Structure 1
Amino acid sequence: MTSRRTLLAGLAGTAASAALPAHAQFSLGNLINSASQVVGAYAAGEGDEIKMGESFYPDYLTKSGGAVDDRNVQEALRGFAKPLFAVADRKSLPWEITLVENQQVNAWALPGGKIAVNSELVRQCAHPDELASVIAHEVGHADHGHSLTQIRNQALVSSVGNLGKEALSGWLGGGTLGSDVLSALEGPLYTMILTGYSRTHEFEADAHILRIFQQTGNDPSRADDFFRTLMRLYPESGSETTSLFSTHPGTRERIARIEQTAAKTSGGSGGSTTGWDVLKAKYPTPKA
């Protein structure tokens, strides 16, 4: 049986299941309006992010099931994602996306703009805006530097050995991201991207969906559709779930926030559907 901690972790808010205290509440609209600060805030660590992404991406793809061996569908996914990457805040990241052969409904993002989407997630997307929302969410994690932030907050230090801790401490203190640090980070970082970010980071990534939809013409009213698809696939009464549902009320709160902000968000003129027909020809959505 599939573990709840390994399904759709890239979209998951697993780090805190309790409601945020009043002083920590914020609106998705405010997050969208403040997104222009992202580039400057993370520029200092961008070289390290890119190095991590390029170092780990091939192995992580293999560990996740391997890239789908079909050039046409890979090109279709790249073509589909291109307009979304084009409006990312951090233009200097080497954005890349790969379709992974995996039956789990999952997507994840590495530092430096490296994204993977599982084939089963594509299968479960009934509308282009559902897939666009997943990719936009993952773009949000990379745009906001969430992986590097959680690493720099030493969220992973406790999971490595003494030599790894020593290497990480030196890097966190301003040292170089060398092979010893990459070796210490490889396993813990993979676990992190599969088990989700902090709840605050998930709210930020949710806001990014709407920010990107504003610019691409995707329909803001569909920004939460894939969340609803997951609620249908993994009902509360079932034994299987996803890390998105670490707390069902929390998931509903995220949907409500997206809907509230979407109602005030312009867009919907028609986002690009390049590659969509090719993807759905290979991975048709099952009838409900």
Structure 2
Amino acid sequence: MLNSFFFIFSRFSRRWLYLLLSVLVALGICIGSPQKTQAISWFDILIQGVQIFQLSNISDQEEVQLGKEINQQLVNSKIQLYLNQNVNRYVNQIGQKLAANSTRSDIPYTFQVVKNESVNAFATMGGYVYVTTGLLKAADNEAQLASVIAHEIGHIASRHSIEQMRETAIARGVATAAGLERNTAVQIGVDLALRRPNSREDEFEADRRGLRTLGRAGYAQSAMVAFMQKLLQQRSLPTFLSTHPATNERITALKDEINSQKGYGGGGLNNAAYEAKIQPLS
């Protein structure tokens, strides 16, 4: 029995020793880092543990979990979801078809309709995409709606939100050598989803990825250009374009890409069929 006691005590001691060594290593990184970062105490590291995200090498699983928490904050306090089951099912079917044909089809995707009359769409990390009822009404057909969703999937496939979160955390002085605390990461994610500060380069990349996804899913790639041109002709620039730089340049680049692929074919252009699908919105 005495031997058993010493064996248990030895295993217990080793666990605490490993934990202490982990804390000391983390402290050493924080102290030895030449970057100017916000201090984080050993007690915070000990208590928070897995609640610290290292954005430079975040895993798919961590990204999906972080996106889930950002989505919960958005749904609970920032946006109002449109709850008609038929419309939501329709949008989800389009989104899942596009996601399966994207360059990042190995994570789960969630597509939601936001009750808002502005013409807008946005995404956050981990596969969460949002389109407004105003955008659904503005689109002429399924291919045009799909072109917007494909663009947002392009942002997710490129992990633009993660890079923006990292840059924002550094600019705000909340990043540490150990990483970014979970609650801070969620709040930044919510702000980024609603504020959409996408760079010119990010938009061009999301356009290219989205256009190819659109074609692989069987939709007419020309719908992406047609929808942008339609929105530009409106009296006031919709939110979806006003927060995205260089729209005319993007249209030119998309036309060149379509011409190079001979991508004017494809489906989803039946206006009457689309209007029937979104009829509950009228």
Same fold (TM over 0.5): yes
> Alpha carbons of 1:141 and 1:183: their partners in 2 closer, same or farther (altered >3 Å)?
same
Alpha-carbon deviation of 1:192?
1.6
2:170 aligned residue: 157
Structure 1 residue 259 corresponds to structure 2 residue 255: yes
Structure with more helix by fraction: 2
Structure 1 residue 95 corresponds to structure 2 residue 91: no
Q: Which runs of 5+ in 1 are unaligned?
A: 1-41
1:269 aligned residue: 266
> Alpha carbons of 1:64 and 1:102: their partners in 2 closer, same or farther (altered >3 Å)?
farther
TM-score by length of 1: 0.69
> Alpha carbons of 1:147 and 1:247: their partners in 2 closer, same or farther (altered >3 Å)?
closer
> Alpha carbons of 1:256 and 1:233: their partners in 2 closer, same or farther (altered >3 Å)?
same
Moved over 6 A (4+): none
1:195 aligned residue: 195
> Alpha carbons of 1:73 and 1:123: their partners in 2 closer, same or farther (altered >3 Å)?
same
Identity over aligned residues, as a percent?
Answer: 26
2:279 aligned residue: 281
Q: Which letter does structure 2 place at the counterpart of 1:45?
A: S
In our comparison, the structure showing a higher alpha carbon Rg is 2
Alpha-carbon deviation of 1:109?
0.7
Q: Which letter does structure 1 place at the counterpart of 2:83?
A: D
Q: Which runs of 5+ in 2 are unaligned?
A: 1-55
Structure 1 residue 245 corresponds to structure 2 residue 252: no
Alpha-carbon deviation of 1:262?
1.0
> Alpha carbons of 1:206 and 1:130: their partners in 2 closer, same or farther (altered >3 Å)?
same
Does the Cα contact within 8 Å between 1:49 and 1:112 map onto a contact in 2? yes
2:62 aligned residue: 48
Q: Which letter does structure 1 place at the counterpart of 2:168?
A: A
> Greater relative contact order (Cα 8 A, min sep 6): structure 1 or 2?
1
> Alpha carbons of 1:151 and 1:137: their partners in 2 closer, same or farther (altered >3 Å)?
same
Deviations 1:72-104 (A, max 9, x none): 211111112221111122222111101111122
Alpha-carbon deviation of 1:61?
2.7
1:134 aligned residue: 148
SS in 1 for 2:113: strand
TM-score by length of 2: 0.70
Alpha-carbon deviation of 1:171?
4.6
> Alpha carbons of 1:142 and 1:234: their partners in 2 closer, same or farther (altered >3 Å)?
farther
Give the aligned CA root-mean-square deviation in angstroms: 2.6
